[in-house]
Structure 1
């Protein structure tokens, strides 16, 4: 009918994506991952009753997750970035279903879903950030992202332990599913679009082996990977062996959760480190942070199990300097990668997280066969010293 007019439906206007957009997404994602960050290693220890076998379990999961990370560009080409991000959030929720079985198989599959989900979320979010944030603003944006995640990484581990010990396994892992769905709703509310340069048919072939070769051929990318690997090894050790250290030394599960939460509470200093980096330069700041972190870890290894709370305090000091690397480290990659191969190189760069979950447990399982639990922290301190030297020697002063 001529009198029947179909009026257009107005969609609410959204402001362009900026640093706060990605900080909010990362904050909600952090809640989904942090809530059971202390529960998972304790749950694995309850099932296996051996810290060395727990290390082997983490090694197996990281090795399986590594292959998924390398094939992520192919998934992005095939299904588009927004669907890969969606799948990543869903995998965090699905992993909770396996964890509640409290069996070795459920633990393995749940950990694998968690690793795959984190990989998908990390790579796609990095691509969105590089699309919408100027290179000169990377340092500020990354420090803001870390600072906004402070509440999640501070309260999440303690909340998870509280739910696990007070209300049981379903409450702890059910909270993860709720946060994962909230992340999904927030992401689709922002309606982030894919960059046309990485849509199917418009990018270079995403062969994983070719991508690795291309990545390794670029010295700046190799250095960025090492910087990220070193600081990620610290957090892997802190999240897994910190709670285990407190349980094994008789301080209890709650002490382990509080240790992790206290370390994560320091994330608010990310903004401080961002300003320090802008004032003194990324090279000088990251080098100093690595050497200071190494000193704290070597001291923690020397004290070991003799004074557990002193060891915990030294680990917290190490966390303070690790946050400097969280706030500044990724800028080395973002400023070095070429625009047309961001998706491929981001996937290879993301393997630092897989290797940081794979290598330390593998090395520690050997070290623990000969020395006490404090040797774990001393070993990590040596790695931090090496990373500090390489950063000082090869990172450009202009960064």
Structure 2
């Protein structure tokens, strides 16, 4: 499975990098619609046990998710004032959290107690509903946003421009690391729960209850604003990294490990709520489309490196030892995040 996800991410990554060209040709609303269709088809393909269908489904799902998030990020930066970004991001995370809290459990329960295709049909139906709502809202392009310079839509050129800026590099590191932590959580967390004695059909509900702290995202955003975005990001990385490291050092999966996983999720929740703010506050408004295209690849990149490196490490160590590796990764990212400029606060 790890190898399949790794391959899927590598193929989906270039599609997301070409998002700037696609948006320039067809506009955001059509790209959002196209991406939604990719997710719908991808979800249905994931229901098949065939490894080729599973890999193709993941490619479509990852590409669709990347394109939709680029469109959502651009709409957010176009219509939301800079000072309101923290509260808007926390609200966005709150609505996203509702699905993350409920549907891992619902999907697992449906898989065990009904038929295997049920959770994927539900996912496709919800995505179809979202697409109808999007067109019903009739969201338009911001009038003040100029069409991107076609010379700036070359993704290789955009990569060079983006990563030449040290502040953009830090913003990308934060995004990739927080996403990798969730990829790790949803991939290897269930394995840990099962080895700790939790029944398979309840694993999804346990995971949902752990991340239910997202319902307090608005308060988390206020804490981040008052404490300082930079310091909050730094300490969130440390809390999550140290907690995951402790889990890896335990002799075997146990209840105490699940408690530390809950503590780790607190830091990961905070990073999800405010983790996009460094990019949004540091990006040049004249280069939003081009730079957002590069920045939004954090999802595909994290989906590639996390299972890729994990599959290599699993040749030499047990699953529980991966928690130590992930913990060190988060702590290192926290130390590097201190290079952010003061205007992020």
Q: TM-score interval w.r.t. the shorter chain?
A: over 0.9
Please state how far the C-alpha of 1:263 moved relative to its aligned partner: 2.7
Larger CA deviation: 198-207 vs 133-142: 198-207
State whether structure 2 residue 211 is matched by structure 1 residue 269.
no
Aligned equivalents of 1:244, 1:165: Cα separation in 2? 16
TM-score by length of 2: 0.95
Aligned equivalents of 1:366, 1:56: Cα separation in 2? 10
Q: Which of 327, 333, 336 is the equivalent residue of 1:387?
A: 333
State whether structure 2 residue 70 is matched by structure 1 residue 123.
yes
Three-state SS of the structure 1 residue aligned to 2:152 is: coil
Please state how far the C-alpha of 1:258 moved relative to its aligned partner: 2.4
What stretches of structure 1 of length at least 5 have no aligned partner?
A: 1-53
> Kindly tell me: are residues 294 and 397 of structure 1, through their superposed partners in 2, closer, same or farther at Cα, counting changes over 3 Å?
farther
- The answer to whether the Cα contact below 8 Å between 2:109 and 2:202 also exists between their aligned partners in 1 is no
Please state how far the C-alpha of 1:310 moved relative to its aligned partner: 2.6
Q: What is the 5 A alignment of 1:171-182?
A: 171-182=118-129
Query: Which residue number corresponds to residue 112 of structure 1?
Result: 59
Please state how far the C-alpha of 1:332 moved relative to its aligned partner: 0.4
Query: Which residue number corresponds to residue 168 of structure 2?
Result: 221
Aligned equivalents of 1:278, 1:100: Cα separation in 2? 42
Please state how far the C-alpha of 1:249 moved relative to its aligned partner: 5.6
- The answer to whether the Cα contact below 8 Å between 1:78 and 1:200 also exists between their aligned partners in 2 is no
Q: Which of 281, 291, 300 is the equivalent residue of 1:335?
A: 281
Q: Once superposed, what is the RMSD of the aligned Cα atoms? A: 1.8
1:288-315 C-alpha deviation (Å, 9 max, x unpaired): 11111111110111126x1333322221
Query: Which residue number corresponds to residue 312 of structure 2?
Result: 366
1:238-269 C-alpha deviation (Å, 9 max, x unpaired): 01111233345653322431232123212113
Query: Which residue number corresponds to residue 326 of structure 1?
Result: 272
How many residues are aligned here? 345
Please state how far the C-alpha of 1:195 moved relative to its aligned partner: 3.2
Q: Which of 91, 95, 104 is the equivalent residue of 1:157?
A: 104
Larger CA deviation: 111-120 vs 94-103: 94-103
Q: What is the 5 A alignment of 1:96-111?
A: 96-111=43-58
TM-score by length of 1: 0.82
> Kindly tell me: are residues 118 and 398 of structure 1, through their superposed partners in 2, closer, same or farther at Cα, counting changes over 3 Å?
closer
Query: Which residue number corresponds to residue 294 of structure 2?
Result: 348
Q: Which has the larger radius of gyration?
A: 1
> Kindly tell me: are residues 374 and 341 of structure 1, through their superposed partners in 2, closer, same or farther at Cα, counting changes over 3 Å?
same
Query: Which residue number corresponds to residue 19 of structure 1?
Result: none
Aligned equivalents of 1:397, 1:290: Cα separation in 2? 20
Q: Which has the higher helix share?
A: 2
- The answer to whether the Cα contact below 8 Å between 1:243 and 1:259 also exists between their aligned partners in 2 is no
